[in-house]
Copies of this chain bind each other. A is one copy, B any other.
Amino acid sequence: MGISSRFAQEHHPVQESTLSDLSRTDLQSILRYMLLTRGLEERLETLFKQGQIVGGLYRSLGQEGTAVASAWALGDGDWLAPSIRDMGALFVRGLDVRDMLRQYTARGTSLCVGKDSTTHFTVPELGLLGPISPLGTQLCVLNGVALAFKQRSQPNVCMTYQGEGASRTGASHEGFSLAAALDLPIVVWLEHNRWSFGTQSHKESAVADWLDTARMYGVPAESVDGNDVLAVYSASRTAVDRARRGDGMTILVAETYRMLGHAQHDAQKNAPPVELEEWRTRDPIARCEAELRDLGTTDEGLETIRDEVSLELTEAVDDVLSEPPPEGEDALTRVYDASELDPSVPWTRGPVSGYGDRTTHVVVVS
């Protein structure tokens, strides 16, 4: 409730560019969101080293372009379902960086009120469906959102992201297969970042061309340079328009690279230096800046963007660190929905009286 009202004000609709190529202002915003993502992750890393982060921290260094430029192709009322590595897409859709900080620092003010972390939140007001840890499941659930669009003949689309590792799960296959069978308005980014946790993906699969894994479902599929925001945007744009027209799902394979370990605890020491070197030269931010220079944006102009982002982040970190953690008893709330409960139903009364210790709760409603 509190959440939704907050977003009521904050949510700034993303303008829909009608042409499949981007204006310079579009591109500047895309750069801004990429910088915001990388900058935030760097702050989070510092906080992690200071012991201010609860649990794991997952970076998207080198992949910011796929998340940001793809989300840019969505319009009002569309839904987006990020993996834990697609933070950038969330900001494009109107999420406040504070909300990611609150998640990672387990604040009571976080979207999950401290009950879950990373991008594991669902915010209908912003059209965001979070993942759960078990991989492959999120696509299956997003199918239901797309199904609702279809049933209401509402011209909206869904976009989601999935790693090549996750694509080996049964849930992923069932999700793709059902989306294709029901012709759902969904765009799926298969993020081929060469890694799955601590293992290089080619060591865990016989797939030669990841595009084949997309083709099998009988829907349009395309392979894209995931570190080129222009390519990512236009592929997304085409797929989104196709879905919006009612022509169903598209699968896009992002060729990219996970430049850091799976999480902070993983030094990625098995990464071939040459590979890292090669991909460092394809950094999406550097390439986007080059594009903008070609379009006439000055170094001062780029400086300004960097400074604004940095300022925004400093303020956000200060704000969030001063926010309170949750109260222990809040662990008991919202297991079930209390609003529609009939008080004459015994169990809704909650804690069993008797022993007076908190372990005798039978069922708890909010």
A residues touching B (Cβ–Cβ < 8 Å)?
A: 136, 168-174, 177, 180-181, 183, 204-208, 212-213, 215-219, 248
Contact = CB atoms under 8 A, between A and B. Distances in A.
13 contacts: A168-B174, A168-B177, A169-B170, A170-B172, A173-B173, A180-B206, A180-B207, A181-B205, A183-B206, A205-B218, A206-B217, A212-B216, A212-B218
A205 B213 CA distance: 16
Contacts of A169: 170, 173-174
B181 A174 contact: no
Contacts of A213: 216
A222 B50 CA distance: 57
A68 to B, nearest CB: 29
A170 B174 contact: yes
Contact of A170 (B170, B183, B215): B170
A49 to B, nearest CB: 36
A160 to B, nearest CB: 17
A177 B169 CA distance: 9
A216 B216 contact: yes
A159 to B, nearest CB: 19
A107 to B, nearest CB: 36
A194 to B, nearest CB: 16
Nearest to A215: B212
A248 B208 CA distance: 15
A217 B177 CA distance: 15
Question: Which of A171, A173, A174, A215 is the most central at the interface, judged by chain B CB atoms within 10 Å of its CB?
Answer: A173
A104 to B, nearest CB: 31
Contacts of A177: 168, 205
A207 B212 contact: no
Nearest to A219: B206
B215 A216 contact: yes
A278 B300 CA distance: 74
Contacts of A204: 181
Contacts of A208: 218
A183 B172 CA distance: 22
A170 B215 CA distance: 17
